[in-house]
Structure 1
Amino acid sequence: MNARETEAAPVVASSSPPIRSSQVGNVPLATVRRETCIAFFGFYGRHNFGDDLFGYLLQSMSIRTPGIRPLIVGASPACELTHPFHLPVARALWARPGAIGAVARSVTYVAAILRARAAIFGGGSLFGANASLPFAKLIVNAGRRLNRPVAALGVSVGPFESAERRHAFARVLDAMPSIAVRDEASVRAVADATGSPPANLKDLAFALPALYAPKRSQQDRRTLIVSIHLRQYMDAALAILARVDSLHLVDEVLFVSLDDESVAVTGDIARLFSPSNVSVSRFQYGDSITEVVDLFAAATCVVTSKLHGAIVSFVYDVPVMLFCYQRKCVEFLLDNALPGPQEPQPPEDVCVRHVTELLSRDGRKQRYSNAGWHLDQFTQFISAIGNAKKHTG
């Protein structure tokens, strides 16, 4: 469960009715007949908050769209993800490394496309440096053979490590008539690869405030959230904590782990930090997406190396310092004119000064008001794909 070490987790209401027992796989029979199913593909089901957040957002957008039913393929068992798609025989092998896990996932992907009317790559770095080319080709080729339209929404494209990889992904992108990316660098990458620039509708999380109102709490307490997943930022994080503690800039430091690889790093920072004036607690993402959103939205400031820790903070007007370990982090800062160091390894004194300035400002600056527009754009995209005619050939 999601919970601080000394507290029980609150119960979070489901965003849609529970799945009934009369179903095909995870999909009720009656719903299959009267609704258009869209299968959403991404890095879901790997216990990473950012990727699970994409699934929650796509589900929430789809169920608001008349006639559309989402299938979140491989979704984690988060309590808000009420429209997952898994094959019972493959579910236990979903996260297994190696050939067995790859086969289980591939069979599930094809089964989802068979079940659905259309397929959408939804959210994340699905076409770039660390993306799986076989995964992308499998979905596109299965869609073509099964006459299902395939699109991409809220994705990153590039940077490509070689011309060969760029050409390979260009063939995949050319097979998708509808692509909407999440940053300007991806616009350029698609234009360079295919000759046609895509729409930039921003990250899916930019619509979050229009879909979920966080349960803010402890407004009288100043909370600094620290969410770091890479050891290269431990020294900078400890320097920031020492300064914040000595200047009494916050009342509480909350160490948050947003994925499995963050647990050890964040835990080590917490153990090495010796507070004099602040209280300390820890939180680990478990089975509630919105509980994490609640924490970030209620924070006074956030220091993180996780992109979606930064984006969630930004859309709820919480000051944030983002360690830019990847280019996508830099693009987020640049596209939204946000201050802060952009080097992969910024000097400690620069980081300390930046966080001190963020915490020394009076009140929150209300700057983000575009969630409704983004929600409209995303839902229109999903509706258009759901109503598209099937491909032939």
Structure 2
Amino acid sequence: MPDDAGRPLVIGYYGMDNAGDNSFCVVMNWALGQYWGATAPVFAAPPLVDLPADRTALDPRWYRSNGPAQRAGNLAQRASLLRRSSMVVYGGGSVFREMGPLSEKRLFSWHARMTGHPVAAVGVSVGPFVSLASQRRLVEVLRRIPYVAVRDRASAEALRAIGYPGSLAVAADLAGLLPEALGEDPRMPRVSRNQRPRLGVTLLGVDYEASDEDFLRREQALIGGIRMLAEKEPIDVTIFVFNTHPQHGDIDASRRLQSALADLCGVREVTEREGVARIWQEMKECDFGVHMRLHGAIFAYMAGVPFTLFPYQRKCDDFLDDIGQPGSFRLDLGKPEPRAVFEVLAGLLNAAELPSVTRQQFADRARLNFTAAPWHQPPAR
């Protein structure tokens, strides 16, 4: 087993200018060596700020569009990487919700059958499937993966419902190990150095599962609620642009918030292009947060920053349920109104409640992604 884990190829939704997905790479790069004894993990990703150059192996030009030539080039690169790998690991995220007839997952599954090299999935969500066709294809792929560690209980239930025959671990999101991957102790208390409370914000640039009307209403509620708070309280704001992709990213939404606050408070911006480590450091400087991005909320939680989260997909509610988020910190997406956002944020300014699951407990759950695997190598004593 240790030889299998020596040269893993790590795959996921990488290369899409998303800080949440990039954080998976940071954690995987550290944890695969720490817990599986990997000596040379390679990521199916273009160059990333936070990883050594020899860890990423894909040409970024194949990510500039989604045309046939780019898809073919991307797939050819992955096939080349497979020949040099000892196993394949799906590393984090919602990678088992949708699958088309020409998905690269077929390539990875076929390669495993031909070579006998193992496949694993860690820190992933399973479902809700976007269509019956996707479900059918994904079930076929999942049944051939001997080890799956999911990041929430709902995904575990989805796997059990399809009769998954392999080894299943119920863990947590990989970002729960981000502090340790960056050399920090997740138990360290947060100390504010701000003269005025600083609000951290992430916005969502697109939501392909919501109507345009619902999407606009949510954004207006968020921006309106923050503006109401800034009119009543002396605050500063840090806008985290977690996704800088030109089509799928948050740049325009972030600019709309910045414009709405221009005459009210100090605003600074931190973007995905600056790297995961920089975003993490800036998140720790915040005193409270409101997030439309799931990983904005997870970063805030792991930094000990009180937060509220717009639950735009089931994975958001799953995370809030899993950490025991207090009800007073939760927003009702069915009624997105500026006043409701303002009231929750005002409550967070003097938050007395905490999630029932501590950061250390969540980190230990995230660690199960690796320690529950057959490739786990306990530290030498």
The question of a shared fold, defined as TM-score above 0.5 by the shorter chain, is answered with yes
Question: Is the Cα–Cα contact under 8 Å of residues 223 and 338 in structure 2 kept in the other structure?
Answer: no
Per-residue Cα deviation, 1:204-256 (whole angstroms, up to 9, x for no partner): 01122233239987444421112112462331122222232133252x11222
Partner AA of 2:222 in structure 1:
A
Q: SS of the counterpart of 2:123?
A: strand
Question: Is the Cα–Cα contact under 8 Å of residues 46 and 60 in structure 2 kept in the other structure?
Answer: no
Corresponding residue number in structure 2 for 1:291: 278
1:35: Cα distance to partner? 8.6
Corresponding residue number in structure 2 for 1:57: 27
Residue number among 202, 217, 225 corresponding to 1:240 in the alignment? 225
Residue number among 123, 136, 141 corresponding to 2:110 in the alignment? 141
Aligned counterparts of 2:90 and 2:262: Cα–Cα separation in 1:
44
Question: Is the Cα–Cα contact under 8 Å of residues 37 and 71 in structure 1 kept in the other structure?
Answer: yes
Which segment drifts farther, 36-45 or 232-241? 232-241
Q: Aligned in 2, Cα 1:206/1:292: closer, same or farther, shift over 3 Å?
A: same
Aligned counterparts of 2:31 and 2:11: Cα–Cα separation in 1:
15
Q: SS of the counterpart of 1:111?
A: helix
Aligned counterparts of 2:335 and 2:91: Cα–Cα separation in 1:
30
Q: Aligned in 2, Cα 1:371/1:158: closer, same or farther, shift over 3 Å?
A: closer
Question: Is the Cα–Cα contact under 8 Å of residues 172 and 362 in structure 2 kept in the other structure?
Answer: no
Which segment drifts farther, 295-304 or 237-246? 237-246
Q: Aligned in 2, Cα 1:225/1:147: closer, same or farther, shift over 3 Å?
A: same
Corresponding residue number in structure 2 for 1:227: 202
Structure 2: stretches of 5+ with no match in the other structure: 206-214
1:187: Cα distance to partner? 0.9
1:64: Cα distance to partner? 2.4
Corresponding residue number in structure 2 for 1:21: none
Residue number among 70, 80, 98 corresponding to 2:41 in the alignment? 70
Question: Is the Cα–Cα contact under 8 Å of residues 199 and 290 in structure 2 kept in the other structure?
Answer: yes
Question: Is the Cα–Cα contact under 8 Å of residues 122 and 153 in structure 1 kept in the other structure?
Answer: yes
Q: Aligned in 2, Cα 1:127/1:202: closer, same or farther, shift over 3 Å?
A: same
Residue number among 252, 265, 270 corresponding to 2:253 in the alignment? 265
Corresponding residue number in structure 2 for 1:314: 301
Matched, 1:355 2:345: yes
1:68: Cα distance to partner? 3.4
Q: Aligned in 2, Cα 1:333/1:35: closer, same or farther, shift over 3 Å?
A: closer
1:345: Cα distance to partner? 5.4
1:307: Cα distance to partner? 0.5
Q: SS of the counterpart of 1:194?
A: coil
Matched, 1:114 2:101: no
Partner AA of 2:303 in structure 1:
Y
Corresponding residue number in structure 2 for 1:327: 314
Q: SS of the counterpart of 2:375?
A: helix
Aligned counterparts of 2:132 and 2:122: Cα–Cα separation in 1:
24
Q: SS of the counterpart of 1:86?
A: coil
Partner AA of 2:361 in structure 1:
N
Structure 1: stretches of 5+ with no match in the other structure: 1-32, 388-393
Aligned counterparts of 2:353 and 2:231: Cα–Cα separation in 1:
21
Question: Is the Cα–Cα contact under 8 Å of residues 47 and 57 in structure 2 kept in the other structure?
Answer: no
Question: Is the Cα–Cα contact under 8 Å of residues 37 and 116 in structure 1 kept in the other structure?
Answer: yes
Per-residue Cα deviation, 1:167-213 (whole angstroms, up to 9, x for no partner): 22111100111111111111111111235583211110112223323
Q: SS of the counterpart of 1:123?
A: strand
CA-atom RMSD in angstroms: 3.0
Question: Is the Cα–Cα contact under 8 Å of residues 158 and 189 in structure 1 kept in the other structure?
Answer: yes
Q: SS of the counterpart of 1:325?
A: coil
Q: SS of the counterpart of 2:88?
A: strand
Q: SS of the counterpart of 1:93?
A: helix
Question: Is the Cα–Cα contact under 8 Å of residues 143 and 150 in structure 1 kept in the other structure?
Answer: yes
Residue number among 208, 225, 233 corresponding to 2:178 in the alignment? 208
Question: Is the Cα–Cα contact under 8 Å of residues 21 and 92 in structure 2 kept in the other structure?
Answer: yes
Q: SS of the counterpart of 2:200?
A: strand
Aligned counterparts of 2:220 and 2:81: Cα–Cα separation in 1:
45
Question: Is the Cα–Cα contact under 8 Å of residues 55 and 75 in structure 1 kept in the other structure?
Answer: no
Q: Aligned in 2, Cα 1:135/1:201: closer, same or farther, shift over 3 Å?
A: same
Q: Aligned in 2, Cα 1:104/1:306: closer, same or farther, shift over 3 Å?
A: same
Relative to the length of structure 1, the TM-score reads 0.80
Residue number among 252, 270, 291 corresponding to 1:304 in the alignment? 291
1:110: Cα distance to partner? 1.6
Q: Aligned in 2, Cα 1:229/1:35: closer, same or farther, shift over 3 Å?
A: closer
Corresponding residue number in structure 1 for 2:7: 37
Q: SS of the counterpart of 1:179?
A: strand
Question: Is the Cα–Cα contact under 8 Å of residues 323 and 344 in structure 1 kept in the other structure?
Answer: no
Sequence identity (%): 21
Partner AA of 2:344 in structure 1:
H
Question: Is the Cα–Cα contact under 8 Å of residues 227 and 260 in structure 2 kept in the other structure?
Answer: no
1:122: Cα distance to partner? 0.6
Question: Is the Cα–Cα contact under 8 Å of residues 49 and 275 in structure 2 kept in the other structure?
Answer: yes
Partner AA of 1:263 in structure 2:
I
Q: SS of the counterpart of 1:36?
A: coil
Aligned counterparts of 1:47 and 1:129: Cα–Cα separation in 2:
20
Which segment drifts farther, 191-200 or 162-171? 191-200
Q: SS of the counterpart of 1:69?
A: coil
